[in-house]
Structure 1
């Protein structure tokens, strides 16, 4: 990974850390319930991607074209951020867990070494 890409990844995980802390500060749930809600939030966000995709392609005849492809992009980004926050809620080592998983997927799928 290039140094420039690494900087963006570090910035993203720093922001995720801040978001996870902000969410924690605004509720009083036990940690195990917090993790469950973060994962459930993913389902909500994925549904919004589907809604935007249907809207961008005009596949609901009653509504027509209601979204743009930029809306789909934004909703996909929300899914990624929500998943990162959920992972961070589960473990303080979220960035390392994710990086290790990406390496394993690349090795398995692309035959790449570390």
Structure 2
């Protein structure tokens, strides 16, 4: 595993740049936010397609993807979700940290 960016600067820069780019092309009203929320679902579908391709479960197509493809699609889901959170006017880092704290607390054994 490669060393992570400790403060995730490149992640937050990508989220901000993506959100700004989208805002420049479409007014960030409720209809546009709906599209950004639906993008998460679209990307999740691409994860499923890549996994089906990685496992060769479609006999007509066989093996068409690898685990790296699946991981890349999962990363697209993550970025789409972070952009959607930012588009709601929230800080995606703060939302993510709060959720991480809740998950850690819930999984502390017992």
TM-score with structure 1 setting the length: 0.83
Tell me which residue corresponds to 1:20. Answer: 19
Tell me which residue corresponds to 2:46. Answer: 48
1:94 deviates by 2.1
Gap regions ≥5 residues in structure 1:
none
What is the alpha-carbon root mean square deviation over aligned residues? 1.6
Tell me which residue corresponds to 2:86. Answer: 88
1:91 deviates by 2.2
Task: Choose between structure 1 and 2: higher helix proportion.
Answer: 1
Residues 25-40 of structure 1 correspond to what in structure 2 (within 5 A)? 25-28=24-27, 30-40=28-38
1:98 deviates by 1.6
CA contact (8 A) 1:53 1:72 kept: yes
Residues 48-68 of structure 1 show CA distances to partners (whole Å, capped at 9, x for unaligned) of 000000001100001111111
Gap regions ≥5 residues in structure 2:
none
TM-score with structure 2 setting the length: 0.86
Tell me which residue corresponds to 2:107. Answer: 109
Tell me which residue corresponds to 2:6. Answer: 6
Change over 3 Å in CA distance of 1:24–1:46 after alignment to 2: same
